[in-house]
Amino acid sequence: MKARFEATLNALERRNRQRRLMPARGLDFTSNDYLGLSVSPILERAAMDALDRNVPLGSGGSRLLRGNHAEHEALETEAARYFHSEAALYLGSGFQANQAIFSSLPAAGDLILYDELIHASTHEGMRLGRAETLVFPHNDVNRAEETLRSWRASGGTGHVWIAIESLYSMEGDLAPLKDLDALAMSTGAVLVIDEAHATGVFGAQGCGLAHGLGAETLTLHTCGKALGVSGGLVCGSRVLIETLINRARPFVFATAPSPMTAALVRASLRALEERPGLQAAAQSRIDHAQGEARRCCGLAGLESQIIPVIVGDDNRTMSWAGELQRLGFDARGIRPPTVPRGTSRLRISITAHVSHPEITALFEAISKLLEEGK
């Protein structure tokens, strides 16, 4: 058996697709710590305050078996208010939250209609669930509507769940939320919106891009990106949240997140409400990065803090990433199967850990690589 796995790893190595752990080094153009909260005095003080209040570091069990703590419930109450929903549920990770949603809410006879670039965690949830699944081309609302109506015409009678991300983690582009909202309203579908990379960066006080839509929505807000901690918050109607508590195996059978992390997420939400400068500073860096990416590299149509530089070839992608790391920029190469074949890329993430001049230096270095690649 060992030989089989070694052969698999060797095959990945020959194609330059073997994943390896590597330490953080150089300027941070890779993480999702968009606001820099993970290492901020804000969360340091919140941690010390929680310790002073005897908030436990571990939960000791699942939420349904004594692992539930007042900090979990306080976070869920505040998150529901902050994200403008009836209720919220805190889980151990965004991945776990998507598994919970799609494995337990859509039933047999329902349809999950999903964007082709939806996150792997959604695919895992759909795989574990009983609903039918159909894909539509990325951000193509017309094709989504055609697919949905064709399913109805062929006899589909169940509920429809439209699964999208508000900001896509590898493309860096935004979903056409208004058009998708109109589609969901006209067809009675539920919009399930993964706000992982929008939370904290976009929307009023960083609440994301989904607030104010007319259709019924279920939103996921991960806490390990701009919020700087860990976990995932599912926000929606009270009946959907109660259903997750009763039926979602990734919630029912998992050890509860640490009450300490819940206390820290609460502090992050308060910081976003009380310190608009966090979001303003992030937007300033994003605007500067997009401008420099256009000027130095000819990249257009950029919409967010995630800037993909498409290289195409796996080997060249990893070579360029290595060269940038040698120059002091922690930029990573992304290859299939994380992205479609032929679209290997440098995924540039604009974080609070870099300055405007450092952003300029990065894109000038990428410009030289692009010129050499010609």
Note the pLDDT tens digit of each residue in 100-122: 999 999 999 999 999 999 999 99
The confidence score (pLDDT) of residue 16 equals 76
**9-25 average pLDDT score:** 82
CATH 3.40.640.10 in the chain, residues? 55-274
The confidence score (pLDDT) of residue 151 equals 98
**180-185 average pLDDT score:** 98
Residue 254 banded pLDDT, cuts 50, 70, 90: very high
Q: Is the per-residue pLDDT at 369 higher than 70? A: yes
Q: Indicate the burial class of 277 (C-beta count within 10 angstroms; 0-12, 13-18, 19 or more).
A: exposed
The confidence score (pLDDT) of residue 374 equals 61
The confidence score (pLDDT) of residue 19 equals 82
Record the tokens describing residue 354, joined without a space.
Answer: 């870099």
**179-202 average pLDDT score:** 98
Options 3.40.1480.10, 3.40.640.10, 3.30.56.10, 3.40.50.2300; CATH of 55-274 = 3.40.640.10
Global confidence as pTM:
0.94
Per-residue pLDDT tens for 124-161?
999 999 999 999 999 999 999 999 999 999 999 999 99
First to last CA, the chain: 44
Q: Is the per-residue pLDDT at 310 higher than 80? A: yes
CATH 3.90.1150.10 in the chain, residues? 23-37+276-373
Torsion, CA 338, CA 340, CA 342, CA 344, rounded to 10: -30
Which residues carry out catalysis?
32, 119, 165, 169, 194, 197, 225
Per-residue pLDDT tens for 191-243?
999 999 999 999 999 999 999 999 999 999 999 999 999 999 999 999 999 99
Residue 18 banded pLDDT, cuts 50, 70, 90: confident
Angle between helices 238-247 and 94-104 (to 10 degrees): 90
Nearest CA to 158 among 145, 148, 172, 147? 148
In 54-187, which ranges are E strands?
Answer: 87-91, 111-115, 132-136, 160-165
Q: How far, rounded to the nearest angstrom, does the alpha carbon of residue 69 sit from its chain's CA centroid?
A: 26
Beta bridge partners of 236: 87
Domain 23-37+276-373: CATH superfamily is: Aspartate Aminotransferase, domain 1 (3.90.1150.10)
Give the residue with greater pLDDT, 284 vs 15.
Answer: 284
Mean residue pLDDT across the chain: 96
DSSP result, 222-278: ESSSTTSS--EEEEE-HHHHHHHHHH-HHHHTSBPPPHHHHHHHHHHHHHHHH-HHH
**246-264 average pLDDT score:** 97
**303-312 average pLDDT score:** 97
**276-302 average pLDDT score:** 97
Per-residue pLDDT tens for 20-32?
878 888 999 999 9
